[in-house]
């Protein structure tokens, strides 16, 4: 039996504390994942080549602040690699038989769980590793295996349960409430522009089916009004599906099993509506998760367009007109890791901002080398670790924002927005506004 009173810095569900025989179950899950997934080659290479050179130290914003040995990216990966070497390589198994040594224990699993949720899996350290190790990948895999023995922050698993087995979305917004919200936003838009701008529901054969982070409906009214205004002004055919209106996919943070199901639900809704493309709202991880449609939804998977790409394309093509008004305050752009680290979306938002702002400033480092907001990898939804998130993880970002002199930081990601607001509040930057890119577009766009 697992000992009672086990504590983590994050809350877990009561049932997580009652799981028995955890090391064996962890190893069974590990074996199944190695057999059916695509991780073994990477783990084998890392286990062989990991050179422990410490170069990742200078790239990790967490280690830069805490200077604790266990926060070194390579150290964290080593926690899982050690288990891999011991139980899944011939040499490791033989050595253990002959000489004993390392055995996986409950305490070791607890240590791994703690370490796995101190990392935001931002993958900034990947570029510094001479051996090409992707510590974000290893952290995520450790999280998956831990989740299979019930060891997962309550905040994450409750959201996924809501989405896959509950109301159908991570914020638990029932359809009538959603429709009320959209109606309210339509009224606001009518007041703002003097013309009706709809949030269309269940339009068949629309070109774009819209999947924002569902929390936007609760927290980011301006972003959503900006989205609707851009779609309306550019004459797009778009729709919100009443069967599935949540782009959030926490599977990306901890489990291929959940990732697969949630992505398939997105594909199913697009098929139901006979829509052509998935339009993802302002959300980094929702975009990266949607890119997995190619993996999970077969050869006729709908193409994925992020709303930043869409707005940029319309602006460049002259299909979005702007009023003479411009944003006057200094504006900086925060790159969400999930769309920027691989270099996929970095320039479009900058070009838009340079067009609509008079005083655009850059934070350094940026683009593929950006600092994480400090709330990546799902940690932003774990409220009980706020002090750690905005302190140890967020301090680098706060310093970076302060140095840029920006009064408005644009962050087209629901997670980054929540985290950056808390980072600014907790690090003496109360005057800095955190907004979405569409919040600013809403102020300058011309709608007829």
Partner 1 sequence: MIDLQTWIDWAGGPLFRAALAFMLLGLARRAALNAWEIVRAWRRAGDKQLPWRAVLRATLRWLFPLGQVGNRALFSATTLLFHAAVILVPLFLAGHVALWQPWLGIAWPVMPSALATALTVAAVVAALGLVIQRAASRATRALSRLEDYALPIVVGLPFLTGLLVMHPGWNPFSYQWTMLAHVLSADLLLVLFPLTKLSHMVLLPATQLVSELAWHFPPDAGSRVAAALRKEGEPI
Q: Which residues bind partner 1 (CB under 8 A)?
A: 28-29, 32-33, 35-42, 44-45, 48-55, 57-59, 63, 67, 69, 72, 74-75, 78, 126-128, 130-134, 137, 148, 157, 160-161, 164-165, 255-261, 292, 294-296, 298, 342-343
Cis ω for the linkage preceding 365 (within 30 of 0)? yes
Q: How far is the CB of 23 from partner 1 (least distance, A)?
A: 15
Q: Smaller CB distance to partner 1: residue 9 or 50?
A: 50
Q: How far is the CB of 325 from partner 1 (least distance, A)?
A: 39
User: Which residues are CB-contacts of 32 (< 8 A; sequence separation ≥ 6)?
Assistant: none
Q: How far is the CB of 328 from partner 1 (least distance, A)?
A: 37
Q: Smaller CB distance to partner 1: residue 30 or 208?
A: 30
Q: Smaller CB distance to partner 1: residue 132 or 243?
A: 132
CA distance 56 to 125: 5
> Which residues, listed in sequence order, are joined to residue 361 by a DSSP beta bridge?
332
Q: Smaller CB distance to partner 1: residue 54 or 405?
A: 54
Q: How far is the CB of 361 from partner 1 (least distance, A)?
A: 24
Q: Return the closest-CA partner of residue 282 out of 145, 437, 158.
A: 437
Q: How far is the CB of 42 from partner 1 (least distance, A)?
A: 4
> Which residues, listed in sequence order, are joined to residue 357 by a DSSP beta bridge?
327
Q: How far is the CB of 393 from partner 1 (least distance, A)?
A: 18
Q: Smaller CB distance to partner 1: residue 186 or 369?
A: 369
* Residue 168 Rama label (left phi>0; alpha psi -120 to 50; beta): left
CA distance 355 to 437: 12
Burial class (CB in 10 A: 0-12, 13-18, 19+), 264: middle
Q: Smaller CB distance to partner 1: residue 131 or 305?
A: 131
Q: How far is the CB of 336 from partner 1 (least distance, A)?
A: 17
Q: How far is the CB of 305 from partner 1 (least distance, A)?
A: 16
Q: Is 64 within 8 Å of 396 (Cβ atoms)?
A: yes
């Amino acid at each position: 039996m697992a000992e009672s009173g086990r504590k983590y810095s994050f809350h877990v569900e009561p049932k997580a504390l009652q799981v028995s025989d955890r090391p064996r179950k962890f190893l069974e899950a590990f074996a199944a994942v190695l057999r059916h997934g695509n991780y073994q080659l990477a783990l084998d290479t890392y286990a062989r080549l990991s050179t422990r050179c410490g170069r990742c130290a200078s790239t990790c914003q967490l280690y830069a602040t805490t200077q604790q040995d266990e926060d070194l990216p390579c150290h964290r990966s080593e926690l899982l690699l050690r288990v891999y070497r011991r139980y899944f390589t011939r040499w490791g198994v033989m050595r253990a038989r002959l000489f004993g040594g390392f055995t996986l224990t409950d305490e070791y699993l607890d240590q791994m769980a703690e370490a796995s949720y101190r990392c935001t899996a931002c993958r900034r350290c990947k570029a510094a590793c001479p051996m090409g190790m992707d510590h974000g990948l290893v952290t995520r895999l450790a999280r998956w295996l831990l989740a299979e023995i019930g060891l997962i922050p309550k905040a994450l698993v409750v959201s996924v349960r809501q989405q896959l087995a509950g109301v159908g979305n991570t914020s638990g917004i029932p359809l009538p409430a959603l429709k009320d919200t959209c109606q309210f936003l339509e009224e606001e838009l009518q007041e703002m522009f003097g013309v009706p701008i709809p949030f269309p529901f269940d339009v068949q054969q629309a070109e774009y089916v819209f999947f924002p982070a569902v929390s936007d409906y609760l927290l980011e009214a301006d972003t959503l009004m900006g989205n609707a205004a851009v779609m309306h002004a550019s004459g797009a055919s778009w729709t919100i599906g009443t069967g599935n209106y949540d782009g959030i996919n926490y599977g990306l943070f901890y489990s291929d099993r959940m990732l697969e199901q949630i992505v398939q639900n997105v594909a199913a809704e697009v098929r139901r509506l006979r829509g052509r493309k998935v339009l993802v709202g302002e959300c980094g991880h929702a975009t990266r998760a949607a890119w997995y449609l190619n993996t999970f939804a077969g050869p006729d998977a709908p193409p994925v367009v992020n709303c930043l790409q869409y707005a940029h394309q319309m602006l460049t093509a002259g299909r979005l007109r702007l009023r003479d008004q411009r944003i006057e305050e200094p504006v900086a752009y925060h790159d969400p890791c999930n769309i920027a680290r691989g270099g996929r979306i970095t320039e479009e938002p900058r070009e838009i901002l340079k067009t609509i702002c008079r005083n655009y400033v850059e934070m350094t480092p940026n683009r593929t080398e950006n600092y994480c907001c400090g709330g990546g990898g799902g940690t932003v939804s774990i409220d009980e670790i706020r002090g750690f998130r905005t302190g140890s993880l967020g301090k680098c970002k706060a310093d970076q924002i302060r140095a840029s002199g920006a009064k408005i930081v644009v962050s087209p990601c629901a997670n980054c927005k929540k985290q950056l607001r808390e980072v600014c509040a907790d690090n003496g930057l109360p005057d800095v506004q955190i907004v979405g890119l569409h919040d600013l577009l809403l102020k300058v766009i011309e709608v007829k």
